[in-house]
């Protein structure tokens, strides 16, 4: 079981790698019963991890070892669920927009009482204890011997990353007599962790301070004594865009998101979010929150896992960014924050299920993820089931694509992010945004930053243009086939970039501001250098910003269509490809070969405004091996919302 941390960028340090898995029937994971194995067994594909190799095998797991797992239920009609999710999401379908209520979706596709009873009887008959049951899964525990009996496999110990884990030595299976009632099982492989319950979460993390001077809008402040970059003096980074500037850039007009609810899922919960959000809105010209406009759905307590979730307070800034940016873009939209009990897969999946089961919102922003190499097909199946169920209810999920470009520098392998790689979510990439005087949209580049420092003499930029520091995630999946809405839009050079003979899912789908050098100003309570808690504001970026910004824009678009849910948005987004509704973002908006840079100052001690300041030049539009080009590209997808994007939904 992997853990997840928020995808943040404070502007100096690269955010910690996130970990989460998403899933897909679209990835070839099948419900049990779809493939009957030997001796009347149905195979649960993807339950044997790729890292459980013969070379790493350290022998059998002790029969008495305790194991906890989740057995996910496939429901009445897993194939029908995927088919109907496509029909209601495709504008060309006769069933487009024919959404079901949460109750109707459960009645049509959810697990039956008989299925739950049959699965329970099988598990208890194998010697496992059922510790919890809901509409989605059964939690079970027992010793390794009982697990091996139930799933017709053997648990072995395997070396991985300097540690030892147990995992099945063969693909798990279930009795064919269950007739496909089991979708998958998670937890047959494990990672040691020391977890403890925490009714009270830790205080906020250490404060982060931005060093000036700043521009108030792009190009408003320039130091003419600094060296040139690309033939001219570069402006200082902006202090942080506000809602007024973002609304103008992305065509909000008079739409405010009224009547629409946006949900945000993260782990844990900031204890000061309501006060911080209200303070931020008042200080930065955003509309005052109505009573009840911001609500939270939280677990009874939280689980702090010292091994996998060592920094619960690190999620507070993520929640603050998500809440404040959604409200800034869509000031009348209701916001429901749904916090996970921990940063682990199962707990974040539970948060998503809460949204779908009670239809808490039509739009769901999610700013967490992990590299595709860490995904588990077994968990992918459970995640896609949630996304598909949401689609049939008219709920759309938006996921950020990551902050390390193609991830090769960080992992040694070029790859994409997950859950953004799912065919059933909208993958949101990132841009560098220039908003000029009087809130005018000037241009965007793909987010990708090169950094060089001011030389000791102050006469040039040392090593200019410098090394890659961060950029929007994107690229081609190695596991997810190309979805129908990308056909005819994504170039073959991208969809088959991994050397496959068939096209694959390519990311992102759409994009918005993410570059921390052209980022968003947020406010939150932080722990100051003297140990005291104090509200303060600073500039923040990353695709963690892009996702809630797009969620806010989609709330405006849903209002434009008189409140009718957009649902799973990708078919409609790709339908707008090549139209004036979208900015076709490129890395050189000022002309071929004309690069763009900004000057940035940072405190050497980011908590201490009296510490020395270091000056650097940041070149925009250079995202690892990814490029924002004319047409669809692997940094910005089909582009970013243009001035007419929101209004384009009025006639659809």
pLDDT in tens, 475-509: 999 999 999 999 999 999 999 999 988 999 999 99
Provide, rounded to the nearest whole percent, the portion of the chain with pLDDT above 90: 83
The answer to whether residues 507 and 430 touch, using CB atoms and an 8 Å cutoff, is no
pLDDT in tens, 405-444: 999 998 899 999 999 999 999 999 999 999 999 999 999 9
- Per-residue exposure over 486-497, b if at least 16 CB sit within 10 Å of its own CB, e if not: beebbeeebbbb
| pLDDT band for position 193 (cuts 50, 70, 90) | very low
Cis peptide before 647 (omega within 30 of 0): no
403 pLDDT above the threshold of 60: yes
Residue 323 backbone zone (phi > 0: left; psi -120 to 50: alpha; other: beta): alpha
| Amino acid 651: pLDDT | 61
Collect all residues with Cβ–Cβ distance below 8 Å to 142 and sequence separation of at least 6: 66, 67, 126, 127, 128, 129
pLDDT above 90 for 114: yes
Checking if the pLDDT of 19 tops 90, the result is no
Instruction: Please compute the mean of the pLDDT values over residues 372-388 and round it to a whole number.
Output: 87
- Cα separation, 525 vs 272, in Å, equals 7
Q: What is the pLDDT of residue 567?
A: 98
Q: What is the pLDDT of residues 315-367, one digit of tens each?
A: 999 999 999 999 999 999 999 999 999 988 889 999 999 999 999 999 999 99
Q: Reduce the DSSP state of residue 613 to 3 states and report it.
A: strand
Comparing 21-25, 58-62, 141-145, 245-249, the range with the smallest average pLDDT is 21-25
Query: Residue 218's pLDDT is what?
Result: 98
* Residues 392, 83 contacting (CB under 8 angstroms): no
* Residue 640 dihedral angles phi and psi, to the nearest 5°: -120, 160
- pLDDT at residue 9 greater than cutoff 50: no
**What is the per-residue DSSP string for 481-537?**
EPPGGGTTTS-HHHHTTTS-SS-EEEE-SEEEE--GGG-EEEEEEEE-TTS-EEEEE
CA 250 vs CA 255, 522, 557: distances in Å: 11, 19, 11
Mean pLDDT of 11-25: 32
- Return the pLDDT at 392: 98
- The average pLDDT across 584-613 equals 96
- Position 205 scores a pLDDT of 87
What's the confidence (pLDDT) of residue 14? Answer: 30
Q: Which residue in 382, 389, 511 sits closest to 21, CA to CA? A: 382
Q: In whole angstroms, what is the distance from residue 77 CA to residue 105 CA?
A: 11
Rounded Cα–Cα distance for residues 424 and 82 (Å): 9
**What's the mean pLDDT in 449-476?**
97
Which H helix or E strand runs over 556?
helix 543-560
Positive/negative CA dihedral, 72, 76, 81, 82: positive
Report H helices in 90-209.
102-109, 113-125, 144-151
CA distance 285 to 293: 17
Cβ atoms of 366 and 356 closer than 8 Å: no
Residue 18 pLDDT > 80: no
Instruction: Determine the distance from the C-alpha atom of residue 338 to the mean position of all C-alpha atoms in its chain, rounded to a whole number.
Output: 14
Burial class (CB in 10 A: 0-12, 13-18, 19+), 532: exposed
All structural domains of the chain, each given as residue ranges with its CATH number in brackets, are 25-198 (no CATH), 243-651 (3.40.50.200)
Token code pair at residue 296: 């939270």
For 258, counting Cβ atoms within 10 Å of its Cβ (0-12 exposed, 13-18 middle, 19+ buried), the class is middle
- Greater confidence (262 vs 501) lies with 262
Task: Provide CB contacts within 8 A for 127, sequence distance 6+.
Answer: 142, 143, 145, 146, 149, 150
Mean pLDDT over residues 86-107, rounded?
A: 97
* Cβ pair 19, 5 in contact under 8 A: yes
On the question of pLDDT at 368 being above 50, the answer is yes
Burial profile 300-338: b = 16 or more Cβ within 10 angstroms, e = fewer: eebbbbeebbeebbbbbbbbbbbbbbbbbbbbbbbbbbb
């Amino acid at each position: 079981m992997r853990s997840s941390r928020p995808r943040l960028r404070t502007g100096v340090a690269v955010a910690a790698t996130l970990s989460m898995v998403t899933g897909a029937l679209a990835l070839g994971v099948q419900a049990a019963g779809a493939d009957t194995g030997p001796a009347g067994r149905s195979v649960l594909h993807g339950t044997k991890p790729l890292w459980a190799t013969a070379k790493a095998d350290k022998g059998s797991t002790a029969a008495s070892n305790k194991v906890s797992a989740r057995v996910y239920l496939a429901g009445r009609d897993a194939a029908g669920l995927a088919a109907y999710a496509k029909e209601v999401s495709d504008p060309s379908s006769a069933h487009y927009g024919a959404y079901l209520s949460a109750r109707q979706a459960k009645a049509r596709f959810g697990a039956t009482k008989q299925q739950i009873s049959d699965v329970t009887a099988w598990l208890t008959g194998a010697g496992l204890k059922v510790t919890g049951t809901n509409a989605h899964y059964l939690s079970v525990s027992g010793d390794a011997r009982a697990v091996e009996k139930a799933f017709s496999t053997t648990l072995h110990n395997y070396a991985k990353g300097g540690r030892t884990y147990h995992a099945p030595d063969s693909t798990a299976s279930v009795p064919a007599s269950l007739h496909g009632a089991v979708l998958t099982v998670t937890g047959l492989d494990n990672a040691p962790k020391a977890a403890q319950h925490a009714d009270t979460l830790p205080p906020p993390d250490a404060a982060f301070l931005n060093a000036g001077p700043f521009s108030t809008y792009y190009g408003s402040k320039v130091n003419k004594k600094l060296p040139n970059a690309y033939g001219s003096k570069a402006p200082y980074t902006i202090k942080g865009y506000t809602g007024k500037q973002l609304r103008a850039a992305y065509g909000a007009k008079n739409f405010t998101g009224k009547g629409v609810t946006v949900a945000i899922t993260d782990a844990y919960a900031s204890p000061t979010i309501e006060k911080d959000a209200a303070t931020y809105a008042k200080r930065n010209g955003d509309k005052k929150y109505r009573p009840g406009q911001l609500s939270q759905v939280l677990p009874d307590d939280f689980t702090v896992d010292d091994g996998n979730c060592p920094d619960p307070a690190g999620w507070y800034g993520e929640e603050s960014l998500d809440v404040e940016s959604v409200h800034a873009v869509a000031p009348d939209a209701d916001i429901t924050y749904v916090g996970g009990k921990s940063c682990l897969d199962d707990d974040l999946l539970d948060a998503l299920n809460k949204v779908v089961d009670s239809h808490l919102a039509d739009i769901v922003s999610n700013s967490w993820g992990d590299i595709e190499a860490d995904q588990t097909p077994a968990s992918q199946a459970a995640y896609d089931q949630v996304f598909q169920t949401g689609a049939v209810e008219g709920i759309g999920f938006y996921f950020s694509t990551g902050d390390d470009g193609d991830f090769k520098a960080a992992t040694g392998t070029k790859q994409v992010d997950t859950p953004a790689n799912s065919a059933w979510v909208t993958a949101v990439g990132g841009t560098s945004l220039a908003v000029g005087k009087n809130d005018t949209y000037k241009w965007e580049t793909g987010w990708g930053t090169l950094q060089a420092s001011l030389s000791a003499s102050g006469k040039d930029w040392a090593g200019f243009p410098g090394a890659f520091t961060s950029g929007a995630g994107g690229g081609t999946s190695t596991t997810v086939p190309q979805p129908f809405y990308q056909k005819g839009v994504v170039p073959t050079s991208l969809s088959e970039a991994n050397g496959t003979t068939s096209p694959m899912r390519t990311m992102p789908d759409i994009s918005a501001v993410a570059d921390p050098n052209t980022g968003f100003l947020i406010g939150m309570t932080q722990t100051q250098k003297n140990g005291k808690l104090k509200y303060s504001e600073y500039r923040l970026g990353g695709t963690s910003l892009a996702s809630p910004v797009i969620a806010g824009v989609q709330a405006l678009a849903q209002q434009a269509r008189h409140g009718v849910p957009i649902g799973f948005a990708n078919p409609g987004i790709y339908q707008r490809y090549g139209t004036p509704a979208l900015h076709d973002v490129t890395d050189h908006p000022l002309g071929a070969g004309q690069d763009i840079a900004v000057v940035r100052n940072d405190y050497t001690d980011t908590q201490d405004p009296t510490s020395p300041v270091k000056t650097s030049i940041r070149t925009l539009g250079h995202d690892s091996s990814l490029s924002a080009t004319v047409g669809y590209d692997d940094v910005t997808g089909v582009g970013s919302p243009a001035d007419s994007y929101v209004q384009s939904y009025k006639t659809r």
